[in-house]
Structure 1
Amino acid sequence: MNIAVLVDSFKGSLSSLEAGNIIKDSILEINDKENIKVMPVADGGEGMVESLADLKGASETELVVKDPLLRNIKAKYIILDNKNIHPEKVAIIEMSAAAGITLISDSLSPMEASTYGVGDIIIDALDRGVKSFIVGIGGSATNDGGVGMLTRLGVDFLNDKGKKIHPSALGIKELDKIDISNMDSRLNDCKFAVACDVTNPLTGPNGSAHVFGPQKGASPKQVEEINDLHCKLYEKTREIINDADSEYPGSGAAGGLGYAFKNYLDAELSSGIKIILDLLKAEDIIRETDIVITGEGRLDKQSAYGKTPIGVAKLAKKYGKTVIAFSGVASNEAEVVNEEGIDAFFPIIGEVIELKEAMDKEVARENLRRCVKQVFRLIYKIK
């Protein structure tokens, strides 16, 4: 049989490639004649860089950037240089590396938090000759509408005295004029694919401030204020970009960072797993397989909303393939994934153990190996 293995990382224990190779080796222990292709995948959320770091031609880059409160921190991203995957160098970036909520979890600042550091990473990639970008924008601490990132990229957000505003939602209070004439000209030749698995607009009751602001520390009063500031940003943007769209699905992602990417950088906003599967040309592999194996650390009802296993399953079902998923654990509501294309899923944990022990790399490795072997013993018996 031809078997394709596309599993996300089992966060905290196994990387995407490690898990995939364990599955491959376990099947080959039973039948060494199988043709098995393993591809590391991710859904664009936190952990994307780690999951894809094992791709052939990927190199990790570390640099000093500004965190959400404009303090110096180190951040990492990947440059993928493999012409068999993509004709150009590709920067794979997580915005959370520079502007993530975990970076300031003990000092949330919904008005002052900035995406400036995301711009730091983009500039570094430009300096290294990158023209194609994949950016995951999950897990943000910010509500700045992308003003911070755009400021770093050369856009001037000015007050009525011609001075630059603070690169945050707070700064938008003073915003009088936007000038894009100094934006880094190299961006004109760049393409941005933004992994965005929410469809919220920038403003309104379903917009960034109302839906995501509270989890970033915004009080009810601040939620209304941030929404008004996003409306102001939109109106000021319309003065220089006539077709600016605050309603485009995903504009409200990451505190409005999706809006900045779409309107200022002409980015494609789409499902993270779709972007990654397209990058890896996974459809060509899946088309020729008999069984597709996917999975992630935890399967639950949230898995049905744009997570890796469902993205893989939907593509596999386009060609009528059998889909099996393995997971560290599965919640009582995980059966919803069966309605989304996964024919059967198997949690790998056997006996009851502590979470810390279950996430130990060697324990997870053995649990996954044992589970895969038992599933395929059954498959071969039935065949």
Structure 2
Amino acid sequence: MKFVIAPDSFKGSMTAKEVADAIASGLTKVFPTADYELVPMADGGEGTVQSLVDATAGQLLTKEVVGPLATKVTAKYGLLGDGKTAVIEMAEASGISYINTQTQNPLKATTYGTGELIIDALDHGASKIILGIGGSATNDGGAGMAQAIGVKLLDNHKHELAFGGGELGKLCSLDLTGIDERLTQTELLIASDVVNPLVGPDGASAVFGPQKGATPAMVKLLDANLTHYAALIKKELNKELASFPGAGAAGGLGAGLLAFTNSTMAKGIDIVVEYSSLKEKARQADFVFTGEGGIDFQTKFGKTPYGVALATKEVAPHAPVIALAGNVGERIDDLYHKDAIDAIFATVGGAKSLKQAFADGQKDIAQTAENIARLIAAIH
């Protein structure tokens, strides 16, 4: 019998690998001689670096970079087992965790550190980069990232702009002569499920700016500046990004990447499925286990358990997909059909505080997996 175990992390308590190990420990009590494939997963957001490093026997690297507030921060990223593919979460360098209500300033916040991670990945031999762009503190259209990779953003005096989306209204010209030449030969995959355009009522500033401290006046200014930025990119690079779906992701970092690098956008879960080799590992599976901290009707929209179900059913259509979650929310019936999830189980054992649930997480997951295994054994 073959079990494929491909969960996401239980955020705040366990990495995807720890969840996979817990599920396996429960199943092996009933099926000690079964074949097990453990494939830690993620959906392109938080935990993607760790999951892909674990799934491919890669390594974690660290780099001191410029944070969103222009102070130094230490960020980590991954080099996958092939030694040629880097995986970066922009939040590590430019994320919202580095700001608070006292320090947030979307007019000045910069993505410069994310660009520094891209360059460091090239220095470590990467020829392909996966970049997850959720959780940003920024609204600069990826301008800081562009500056870090060698683009000069110049005002009417040919002076380079200072950091932040508040400066983009001064932009008069682009100088790409200093851009790192290695980027022309580097494929960059943008992992994002955000489809917002760069500007307008559904754009980066209007939708996400307030989360980063933007007042209504700031939103208006930032949107106008990004509109100007997009117009100049169209004029000088012949790239139409103002209304491009996903260009507004991470405060417009999506637009900056599309403008200045050899990049394409894809759903985060699809990228992780590909680079973890999930489909290959799931061939001839008898059962597939997945899960994450919480599952509800929204899981259908790009979350890991649903993506795992769709991917594994392509190669093992008769293998039931069983999802485990710390919290099972509303309308899970939306997730049930023959090509997706077959059963969902809550793992928390009894009423307990959140702190205790986190502490008992691995034990509860293992117990739930063992109980399911005993049911499978009884039926078979």
The two structures share one fold, judged by TM-score above 0.5: yes
- Superposed displacement of residue 165, structure 1: 0.5
| Aligned equivalent of 1:264, options 245, 260, 267 | 260
Answer whether contact 1:151 1:167 (CA < 8 A) is retained.
Answer: no
Deviation at 1:208, TM superposition (A): 1.2
- 1:235 aligned to which of 215, 219, 231: 231
8 Å contact from structure 2 (residues 89, 131) kept in 1: yes
Counterpart in 1 of 2:119? 123
> For structure 1, which segment, 193-202 or 320-329, has the greater mean C-alpha deviation from structure 2 after superposition?
320-329
Question: How far apart in 2 are the matches of 1:258 and 1:154?
Answer: 17
- Corresponding residue to 1:368 among 362, 365, 368: 365
Deviations 1:136-165 (A, max 9, x none): 100001110000000011000000000000
Q: Name the residue aligned to 1:102.
A: 97
Amino acid at match of 2:128: S
2:79·2:86 contact (CA, 8 Å) conserved in 1?
yes
CA contact (8 A) 1:160 1:176 kept: yes
Moved more, 250-259 or 301-310: 301-310
- Alpha-carbon offset, residue 270 of structure 1: 0.9
Q: Which residue of 1 aligns with 2:284?
A: 288
Contact 1:150/1:260 (CA < 8 Å) preserved in 2?
yes
With normalisation by structure 1, the TM-score equals 0.94
Secondary structure at the aligned position of 2:29 is classed as: helix
Task: Identify the range of structure 1 (138-147 vs 6-15) with the bigger mean alpha-carbon deviation.
Answer: 6-15
Do 2:31 and 2:373's aligned partners in 1 also have CA atoms closer than 8 Å?
Answer: no
Q: Structure 2 vs 1, CA of residues 217 and 302 (structure 1 numbering), >3 Å: closer, same or farther?
A: farther
Q: Does 1:196 align with 2:195?
A: no
Indicate the SS of the match to 2:351: coil
Deviation at 1:56, TM superposition (A): 4.3
Letter in 1 for 2:351: V
- Aligned partner of 2:336 in structure 1 is 338
What residue in structure 1 maps to residue 142 of structure 2?
146
Once the two structures are superposed, what CA deviation does each residue of 1:30-87 show, in whole Å capped at 9, x if it has no partner? Answer: 022321211111111122223334234311111211111110111111112x23xxxx
Name the residue aligned to 1:248: 244
SS of corresponding position for 1:192 = strand
CA distance in 1, matches of 2:293, 2:197: 30
Runs (5+) with no aligned partner, structure 2: none
Answer yes or no: is the 8 Å Cα contact 1:40–1:52 preserved in 2.
yes
Give 1:65's aligned amino acid: V
**Letter matched to residue 111 of structure 1:** L
C-alpha distance in structure 2 between counterparts of 1:334 and 1:237, whole Å: 44
Q: Are residue 79 (structure 1) and residue 79 (structure 2) matched?
A: yes
1:347 deviates by 1.0
Contact 2:297 2:331 in 1 (8 A): yes
- 2:59 equivalent in structure 1: 59
Among residues 321, 324, 327, which one is paired with 1:323 in the alignment?
A: 321
Distance 1:54 1:330 in 2: 26
In 2, the alpha carbon distance for the partners of 1:58 and 1:134 equals: 14
* Cα RMSD (Å): 1.6
Match of 2:354 in 1: 355
Aligned with 2:174: secondary structure?
strand
Correspondence for 1:159: 155
What is the letter of the counterpart of residue 78 of structure 2? I
1:172 pairs with one of 164, 168, 185: 168
Measure, in 2, the Cα distance between the counterparts of 1:103 and 1:174.
Answer: 27
* Conserved? CA contact 2:24–2:366, under 8 Å: no
Q: Which amino acid aligns with 1:348?
A: T
| CA offset digits 1:168-188 (Å, max 9, x no partner) | 101102111111111111111
Q: Which amino acid aligns with 2:257?
A: F
For residues 180-239 of structure 1, give each alpha carbon's deviation from its aligned partner in whole angstroms, at most 9, with x where no partner exists.
111111111111111101111111222111211111111122222211111111111112
> SS of the counterpart of 2:200?
coil
Residue 375 of structure 2: aligned partner: 378
- Structure 1 SS opposite 2:256: helix
Which stretch shows the higher mean deviation, 9-18 or 306-315? Answer: 9-18
The whole-number CA distance in structure 2 between the counterparts of 1:315 and 1:55 is 16
Please tell me whether the aligned partners of residues 153 and 175 of structure 2 are also in contact (alpha carbons under 8 angstroms). Answer: yes
SS at match of 1:73: strand
Write the distance in 2 (CA, Å) between the matches of 1:353 and 1:126: 47
- 2:350 is aligned with what amino acid? E
3-state secondary structure, aligned to 1:187:
helix
* Distance verdict in 2 for CA 1:172–1:132, change over 3 Å: same
1:322 deviates by 1.6
Kindly tell me the number of residue pairs found equivalent between the two proteins. Answer: 376
Q: Which runs of 5+ in 1 are unaligned?
A: none
* 1-structure distance, mates of 2:296, 2:130: 26
- Name the structure 2 match of 1:132: 128
Conservation of the 8 A alpha-carbon contact between 2:197 and 2:247? yes
Deviations 1:232-287 (A, max 9, x none): 11111112211333333211100110111122213121111110111122122223
Report if the CA contact (8 A) 1:138-1:196 is conserved: yes
Under a length normalisation based on structure 2, what TM-score does the superposition of the two structures give?
Answer: 0.95
